[in-house]
Amino acid sequence: MPSRPGGDGGTAMIEARELTKRYGDKTVVDRLSFTVKPGEVTGFLGPNGAGKSTTMRMVLGLDAPTAGSVTVNGKAYDRHAAPMHEIGALLEAKSVHPGRSAVGHLTALAQTHGISRKRVDEVIDLAGLHSVANKRVGAFSLGMGQRLGIAAALLGDPEVVMLDEPVNGLDPEGVLWIRNLLAQLAAEGRAVLLSSHLMSETAQIADHLVIIGRGRLLADTTVEAFVRETGTGAVRVAADEAARLRELLAGPDVTVSGSTDTELLVTGLGAREIGRVALRHGVALHELTPLGASLEAAFMDLTTDELEYRSAPADGRSAR
């Protein structure tokens, strides 16, 4: 596999270049370029209808791009001799015949790649499906269907793992399981791509973020940088002398807003600096809380203009 220049040392596992998909005159994915690197979890974020699933289908060659290209480990997916060893994917949950058992489904998939029955049992155990392995998939809950999809994705011991909304339908235990599993897969040096429409949930798992809206790339950054750049790190301060404190804190990069007489929302200064100013001037504080960036809010800000399906505001006014 060719090593990619400038890929900070690692081989690019998934590389999309100017990837475009149009249905008629509707552009679902629009000149999208991004890279998913080994050893880290990349969160693929966007509101519903942003083009995440379409992009993932193009990675697997299920949909053909209108223009541009996407490669997995340096080659188009269908040019690999053993594709399930290159990338394992969970697309929509339950892409399984409801009349077939989990064992039947996984065995049929395994046989295409000469994978042993032992490995089938391994992934069944890994996904916690042991007790229902011989039951008809049609009777599975959404969460069990997701676990089966993840078992199928891991069957070929792939170098890249790509999961479309894996936590959908999972209970809290399942969500935790996914988080640990993905962290472990990345620690083993695999590339993990994980799509979601929930920023807060993704930020807890991902190292890197690829954010899209209406098929276009909006941000390609690390979680840390995203928090730093968008999240302003506001601090909530409560003090009896709020008005005086507001004057004391004023500065060129500092914004102070306050909704009540005793509470301020300060951006541009850390809790530490605010505490020092208050001490120096003898202002008694009864609350000093760094709010951190509200990731969800930052994500909303970023994607608001790109929403495919926008709900009308409750008061009936037009959104624009």
| CB closer to other proteins, 23 vs 200 | 23
| CB closer to other proteins, 81 vs 314 | 81
Q: Is 83 helix (H, G, I), strand (E, B) or coil?
A: helix
> Any idea what the Cα angle at residue 169 is, between residues 203 and 92, rounded to 5°?
90
Task: Kindly state the smallest distance separating residue 149's Cβ from other proteins, in Å.
Answer: 9
| C-beta separation of 283 from 244 below 8 A | yes
Task: Kindly state the smallest distance separating residue 77's Cβ from other proteins, in Å.
Answer: 6
| CB closer to other proteins, 92 vs 305 | 92
Task: Kindly state the smallest distance separating residue 187's Cβ from other proteins, in Å.
Answer: 6
How many residues make up the chain in this entry? 320
Other C-beta atoms within 10 Å of 266: how many? 26
Task: Kindly state the smallest distance separating residue 202's Cβ from other proteins, in Å.
Answer: 23
Strand partners, 67: 20
**What are the distances in angstroms from CA 286 to CA 49, 235, 248, 263, 265?**
45, 13, 17, 10, 14
Using CB under 8 A as the criterion, which residues of the chain lie in contact with other proteins when the complex forms? 1, 10-11, 38-39, 57, 60-64, 73, 77-78, 80-85, 89, 91-92, 94-101, 104-105, 107-109, 111-116, 119, 152, 156-157, 159, 187-190
| CB closer to other proteins, 64 vs 312 | 64
Task: For strands 216-222 and 235-239, give the pairing.
Answer: unpaired
Task: Kindly state the smallest distance separating residue 79's Cβ from other proteins, in Å.
Answer: 8
Q: What is the CA 134 to chain-centroid distance, rounded?
A: 32
Task: Kindly state the smallest distance separating residue 145's Cβ from other proteins, in Å.
Answer: 10
DSSP H or E run through 164: strand 160-164
CA-to-CA distance for 51 and 53, rounded, in angstroms?
6
| CB closer to other proteins, 191 vs 218 | 191
| CB closer to other proteins, 36 vs 219 | 36
